[in-house]
Amino acid sequence: MNIEVRIRGLMMDPATNMPIVVLKDVASESVMPIWVGIFEANAIAIEIEKATAPRPMTHDLAKNLIHYMNGTLERVVITELRDDTFLAVLWIRQGDEPIVIDARPSDAIALALRADCPIYVAEEVMQSARLNTSGPPEGPTAEQLRGWLEGLNDEDLGRYKM
């Protein structure tokens, strides 16, 4: 079973200065952080802020390719947490045929925002990430991080905004 999530925030980890995408379960208060690269965070931030670039960025190109090949991005799913790395897939429909494509979660999220499609996390991944939230080396403990993330309010998110 997959859990629908929304982006709760995009911020810098105050301990490591690495970007974090915070995903929130739409049906509960559960949150799941995903550390991403600065370029991927920038691509997500640009779409969140509805900024436009003078030329198409990589995720805009991917969205356009899907569209011009008569496809529709139906959803993205973060499917697995393997060795502290999240894995994701894109669910694209081309005519009557579903196509599943492997993707990095950060790219999948950036593309989902552009295509205005839902983002899901496999239930096992959400459970595992909630229980074993692992950040970069020398980061806070899982319990400290979970407490910090769950306690964030809109003012806090603005403070760490990208």
Which letter, b or e, does each residue of 124-133 get, where b requires 16 or more Cβ atoms within 10 Å of its Cβ?
ebbeebeeeb
Expressed in angstroms, the distance from the first to the final Cα of the chain is 32
Give which of 38, 27, 123, 134 is closest to 78, Cα–Cα: 123
Higher pLDDT, 144 or 65: 65
Q: For residue 53, count other CB atoms closer than 10 A to its CB.
A: 9
Six-digit token pair at 61?
């190109």
Element (DSSP H or E) covering residue 78: strand 71-82
3-class DSSP state for residue 161?
Answer: strand
The conformation of residue 54, written as its DSSP 8-state character, comes to: S
Which letter, b or e, does each residue of 65-97 get, where b requires 16 or more Cβ atoms within 10 Å of its Cβ?
ebeeeebebebbbbbebeeeebbbbbbbeeeee
Per-residue pLDDT, 13: 85
pLDDT digits (tens, 9 = 90+) for 21-78: 999 999 998 899 999 999 999 999 999 999 988 999 999 999 999 999 999 999 999 9
Six-digit token pair at 31?
């949150």
pLDDT digits (tens, 9 = 90+) for 103-141: 999 999 999 999 999 999 999 999 988 644 444 444 555
Question: CATH no. for residue 70?
Answer: 3.10.690.10
Domain count for the chain = 1
Give which of 6, 22, 45 is closest to 146, Cα–Cα: 22
pLDDT digits (tens, 9 = 90+) for 67-93: 999 999 999 999 999 998 999 999 999
Six-digit token pair at 16?
């490591």
pLDDT digits (tens, 9 = 90+) for 5-25: 999 989 988 888 899 999 999
Per-residue pLDDT, 52: 87
Cα 28 from Cα 21, distance rounded (Å): 17
Percent over 70 (pLDDT), the chain: 80
Contacts of 97 (CB under 8 A, 6+ apart): none
Domain range for 149 is 2-159
